[in-house]
Structure 1
Amino acid sequence: MKAQQGNGNFFEKFSSKVSHITGSPGAFFLALLAIIVWGITGPLFNYSDTWQLVINTGTTIITFLMVFVIQKSQNKDSKSLQLKLNELIAANKQASNRLIVVEDLSEEELDTLHKYYCKLADETKKRMSMKESHSVEEAIENTDEKFEEEEKK
C-alpha cells in the first residue's frame, strides 16, 4: 500500500508539473516549431508515408498520454474547488447544507435542484436588478463580523 501511495504522489506531482509546463506559451511555440520543421522537411523526404507517419505517431502518443496527465490534474483541481465550495456552504448560516457534496447526486436529483434554482433566479430578477452587486463595504463588514466571531471563541 505504501508503494502505491508513493507512486500516486509521484504521478500527482508529475501531472501537475507537466500540465503547468504544457500550458505555457513556450510549450506552444515548441510544438509549433516542431510542426514547422516537420513541414519544411516534407520535400526532403518526398512527402513519403514514413514522413507522414512520424508526425501522426508522435502526435498520437503525446495526445494519448496527455489525456491521463490532464485528467489527473483536472480531478485534483475539481476536488479542491468542491472542498472550497463546501467550506463556504458549511460556514454560511443561510446556505443549505443539502448542497454540500452535491456532485455526488444523481443526474435526476441535479435536474430537480437546477429547476429550483432557476425559479429562484427568476424571482430574484423580478425583485432586483441583476446588474446590482454587493459593495466592497458589505464585504468588509462580513469579514469584520467573521473576525469578531472568531475572537469570541
Structure 2
Amino acid sequence: MTTQPATTSTNSSNFFARFAGKVTAWSGTTAAFCLALGTVLVWAITGPLFQYSETWQLVINTGTTIITFLMVFLIQRAQNKDSLVLHLKLNELLAAHKGASNRLINAQDFSEEEINLLHEYFCLLADKAKQDHDLGRTHSIEEAEENHQEKRRAHR
C-alpha cells in the first residue's frame, strides 16, 4: 500500500509556519526597525502637508494598530513553538539522565496547583541540601530525606 501525499491543510500549515517564522525573524532585524522608523518619520513630515488632519492621524493609527494586532499572533506562535521545543529538549535530558527524576517530564502540562506543589518540593529539597552542605548530593526528596536521616543517626 502506498503512502498518501501530504494533505492541503498540512501544506498550508507548513507554509504558514515558514511564513510566520520568517516574518517573526525579520521583524527583529535592524532593517525592520529602520523601515518602521522611516514610515513614522515620513508620516510626521507630511503632517503640515495634510494640515495635521484627522485623516492624516487616522492613517498612522490604523496602520500601527493592524500591524500590532497581526504581530501579536505571529510572535505568540513563534514563542509557543520555541517553548515547546525547549520543553522537549528538557524532557529528553530528564529522560536520558540516570539520576534525574522522571516526575518532571512534561511539567509544562501540570496544573498551577501541581506546579506550586513541585515548587514546595524543591524548596524542601534545597533546605535538605543546605543542611547537608552539599547541593548536588541528592536528586529526589526521598533520597534527601533518607540522607538527612542517616546523617542524624551518625551524629547521635
Provide the C-alpha distance between the structure 2 equivalents of 1:127 and 1:24, rounded to a whole number of angstroms: 49
Aligned mate of 1:34, from 35, 39, 53: 39
- Give SS of 1:93's match: coil
* CA-CA distance at 1:6 after TM superposition: 0.8
Specify which structure has the higher proportion of helix: 1
Give me the identity figure in percent: 59
1:19-51 CA distance string (max 9 Å, x none): 110011111111111111111111111111000
Q: How does 1:4-19 map to 2 (within 5 A)?
A: 4-19=9-24
Q: Tell me, what secondary structure is at the counterpart of 1:46?
A: coil
Match of 1:44 in 2: 49
Task: Name the CA shift for 1:55/1:110 in 2 (closer, same or farther; >3 Å).
Answer: same
User: Once superposed, which parts of structure 1, at least 4 consecutive aligned residues long, lie more than 4 Å away?
Assistant: 125-130
1:74-102: per-residue Cα shift (whole Å, max 9, x none)? Answer: 11111110110000000111111110001
- How many residue pairs get aligned? The number is 131
Taking structure 1 as reference, are residues 123 and 26 closer, same or farther at Cα in structure 2, changes over 3 Å only? farther
TM-score (norm 2): 0.77
Displacement, 1:104?
Answer: 0.8
Q: Secondary structure at the match of 2:56?
A: helix
Q: 1:18 to 1:128 in 2, by over 3 A?
A: farther
Could you tell me how far 1:71 is from its partner in structure 2?
1.5
Q: 2:40, 2:134 → 1: CA distance?
A: 51
Query: Against the structure 1 CA distance between its residues 36 and 116, is the aligned structure 2 distance closer, same or farther, given a 3 Å change threshold?
Result: same
Change (3 A) 1:51 1:127: farther
The amino acid across from 1:4 in the alignment is: S
Task: Note the residue ranges of structure 2 that are not aligned, 5 or more in a row.
Answer: 1-5, 136-156
* Cα 1:19/1:125, change in 2 over 3 Å: farther
Matched letter for residue 39 of structure 1: A
- Structure 2 partner of 1:72: 77
Distance 2:76 2:47 in 1: 34
Task: Give the corresponding residue for 2:150.
Answer: none
| Structure of greater Rg | 2
Cα 1:125/1:52, change in 2 over 3 Å: farther
Instruction: Provide the residue aligned with 2:146 in structure 1.
Output: none
Mean Cα deviation higher: 121-130 or 51-60: 121-130
What's the CA shift for 1:121? 2.9
Higher mean C-alpha displacement, 63-72 vs 101-110: 63-72
TM-score by length of 1: 0.78
Gaps of 5+ in 1: 131-153
